[in-house]
C-alpha cells in the first residue's frame, strides 16, 4: 500500500492567537483529484498554504510522500501552487514565464527548451508562446500558470480557486482542461473551491470544511447521498432539512405533527423524545395526482410556486395539514401536469432520507 501523498495529522492553524483551523486529520492518496470545499472563510486556503509551506502550522503535522514537512521551506517541498490571480510575470512572455523556474534551477538549455515546448503543448498554448500576459484572456493566463507549475514535475499540484476569476462558460471549459491534465499526468491534484458543482464534477474525493472543522471526507457520491451532518447535506446540494422527534411508537414526527418516518428501528440508543434532523433531496420527493402507493410516507400538499430552471422545474409545495414547506424538483415532462394552486400528493421512500441525530451534532 502506497503512502498517502499528503497527510495532515491533527493540523491546526491560528492567526493572531485565534484558531481558524482545528485538528484536521486527512489523507490524500497518490494520483487523486481531491477538493477542499466549504464556504468563504472556512479555512480552505489556510490549509493549502500550510501544505505549500507559506505558513507554519500552529499545531499538528504535515507529511508529503512520507516526509514530515513542518520545518521544510516552500521551495524544498515537492509541490507547486496555482493561484486564482495567476501570479504571472507581466514583463515576460508566455514561454519565459513557463521557463522561469527551470532557469532558476540552472536546467541545461536543451533540456529546458524541450520541457518548455512540452509544457506549452500540454496546455495548448502553441499559438500564444511569444505573447505577454496582458494580451491573453483569463483562461489563457490560467493555462500559463498551470504549465509553469506542472513543468517542475511536482508530486502534488496545489490549486487555490484556480477558476474563480473566470466566467461560467470559460470555467466549464477549464474544468474539462484540468480534468484532462490530471488524467494525462497522473499527478495528485489538491484544489480549493467554494463551488460545489465544480467539486462534484472534478473530484475523486472531497473534504467539506466548515468553520475550520472537517465535516466529512468522501467521494462525491458518498457525500451527496450519505451526508454525515445537516451542514454537509445543505452545502453539497439542495436540501429539505426537517426536524422531528421520536414518539412512543418509534415514528419520527415533525414539530407541527407531520409523520416523517413511520417506524424507525435503527439505532436503539435514540430514545422517545429525542430530536432528529432529516434530509430529503428535492429530486427524491415523488409527486402524484393520487396518493402514492409505492411510498412509505405520503401526504397532500398545495403547489405554491413553480420556477423554470431549463433542465428541470423547482416547486415550492406546502403540506395541507401542517403548512410545512417542501422544495421539489421535477423534470419538465413530469411537471407538465402540475400548476400553481394544484393539490398534489407528496411522498418518499425511507431509503431516500438521510437522518441525523441532532443530539450528536
Ligand atoms: P475564501 O473561500 O473566501 O478564500 P477560505 O475558506 O479559503 O475562504 P481562509 O482564507 O483560509 O478561508 O481563511 C480562514 C479564516 O482565517 C478567515 O476567518 C480569515 O479571516 C482568517 N485568516 C486567513 N489568513 C489570515 C491571516 N494571514 N491573518 C489573520 N487571519 C487570517
Residues 103-112 pLDDT 10s = 888 888 888 9
pLDDT for the residue numbered 267:
63
Protein residue closest via CA to atom 7 of ligand 1 = 45
In the chain, which residues have pLDDT < 70? Answer: 1, 265-269, 335, 358-361
pLDDT for the residue numbered 361:
44
Going through the chain in order, the beta strands assigned E by DSSP cover 6-15, 18-28, 33-37, 59-64, 67-68, 79-83, 156-160, 188-193, 205-210, 213-218, 240-246, 252-254, 259-261, 275-280, 286-288, 297-308, 312-319, 325-331, 343-348, 353-357
DSSP per-residue string spanning 21-54:
EEEEEEEE-TT-EEEEE-STTSSHHHHHHHHHTS
Residues 6+ apart with CB under 8 A from 292: 286, 298, 345, 346, 347
The full set of domains in the chain, from first to last, is 6-233 (3.40.50.300), 238-360 (2.40.50.100)
Q: State the Cα–Cα distance between residues 323 and 302, nearest whole angstrom.
A: 9
Q: What angle do CA 53, 217, 27 make, to 5 degrees?
A: 45
Output the nine-digit C-alpha cell for 282: 428535492
- Centre a 10 Å sphere on the Cβ of residue 133 and count the other Cβ atoms it contains: 19
> What interhelical angle do 168-185 and 138-150 show, nearest 10?
20
Q: For residue 63, report the distance from its CA to the centre of ligand 1, in Å.
A: 22
Q: For residue 179, report the distance from its CA to the centre of ligand 1, in Å.
A: 27
**Is any atom of ligand 1 closer than 6 Å to the C-beta of 38?**
yes
The ligand 1 atom nearest the CA atom of 15: 29
**Is any atom of ligand 1 closer than 6 Å to the C-beta of 22?**
no
**Is any atom of ligand 1 closer than 6 Å to the C-beta of 43?**
yes
**Is any atom of ligand 1 closer than 6 Å to the C-beta of 14?**
no
Protein residue closest via CA to atom 2 of ligand 1 = 40
Mutation choice for ligand 1 from 11, 15, 17, 57, CB with most ligand atoms inside 8 A: 15
Task: Report residue 218: phi and psi, to 5°.
Answer: 175, 180
Residues 6+ apart with CB under 8 A from 284: 348, 349, 352
The ligand 1 atom nearest the CA atom of 55: 27
pLDDT for the residue numbered 335:
65
Amino acid at each position: 500500500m502506497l503512502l498517502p501523498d499528503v497527510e495532515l495529522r491533527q493540523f491546526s492553524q491560528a492567526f493572531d492567537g485565534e484558531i481558524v483551523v482545528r485538528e484536521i486529520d486527512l489523507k490524500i492518496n497518490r494520483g487523486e483529484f481531491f477538493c477542499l470545499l466549504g464556504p468563504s472563510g472556512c479555512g480552505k486556503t489556510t490549509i493549502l498554504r500550510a501544505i505549500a509551506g507559506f505558513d507554519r502550522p500552529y499545531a499538528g503535522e504535515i507529511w508529503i510522500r512520507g516526509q514530515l514537512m513542518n520545518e521544510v521551506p516552500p521551495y524544498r517541498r515537492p509541490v507547486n501552487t496555482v493561484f486564482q490571480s495567476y501570479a504571472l510575470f507581466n514583463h515576460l512572455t508566455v514561454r519565459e514565464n513557463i521557463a522561469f523556474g527551470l532557469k532558476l534551477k540552472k536546467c541545461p538549455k536543451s533540456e529546458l527548451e524541450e520541457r518548455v515546448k512540452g509544457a506549452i503543448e500540454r496546455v495548448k498554448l502553441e499559438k500564444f508562446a511569444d505573447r505577454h500576459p496582458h494580451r491573453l484572456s483569463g483562461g489563457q493566463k490560467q493555462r500559463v500558470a498551470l504549465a509553469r507549475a506542472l513543468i517542475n514535475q511536482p508530486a502534488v499540484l496545489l490549486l487555490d480557486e484556480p477558476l474563480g476569476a473566470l466566467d461560467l462558460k470559460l470555467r466549464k471549459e477549464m474544468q474539462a482542461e484540468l480534468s484532462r491534465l490530471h488524467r494525462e499526468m497522473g499527478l495528485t491534484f489538491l484544489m480549493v473551491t467554494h463551488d460545489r458543482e465544480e467539486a462534484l464534477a472534478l473530484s475523486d474525493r472531497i473534504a467539506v470544511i466548515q468553520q475550520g472543522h472537517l465535516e466529512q471526507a468522501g467521494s462525491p457520491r458518498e457525500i451527496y447521498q450519505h451526508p454525515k451532518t445537516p451542514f454537509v447535506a445543505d452545502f453539497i446540494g439542495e436540501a429539505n432539512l426537517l426536524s422531528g422527534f421520536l414518539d412512543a411508537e418509534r415514528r419520527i414526527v415533525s414539530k407541527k405533527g407531520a409523520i416523517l418516518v413511520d417506524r424507525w428501528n435503527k439505532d436503539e440508543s435514540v430514545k422517545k423524545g429525542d430530536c432528529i434532523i432529516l434530509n430529503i433531496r428535492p429530486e427524491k420527493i415523488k409527486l402524484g395526482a393520487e396518493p402514492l402507493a409505492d411510498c412509505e410516507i405520503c401526504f397532500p400538499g398545495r403547489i405554491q410556486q413553480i420556477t423554470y430552471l431549463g433542465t428541470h422545474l423547482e416547486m415550492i409545495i406546502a403540506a395541507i395539514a401542517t403548512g410545512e414547506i417542501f422544495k421539489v424538483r421535477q423534470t419538465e415532462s413530469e411537471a407538465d401536469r402540475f400548476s400553481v394552486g394544484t393539490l398534489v400528493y407528496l411522498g418518499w421512500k425511507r431509503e431516500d432520507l438521510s437522518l441525523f441525530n441532532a443530539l450528536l451534532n
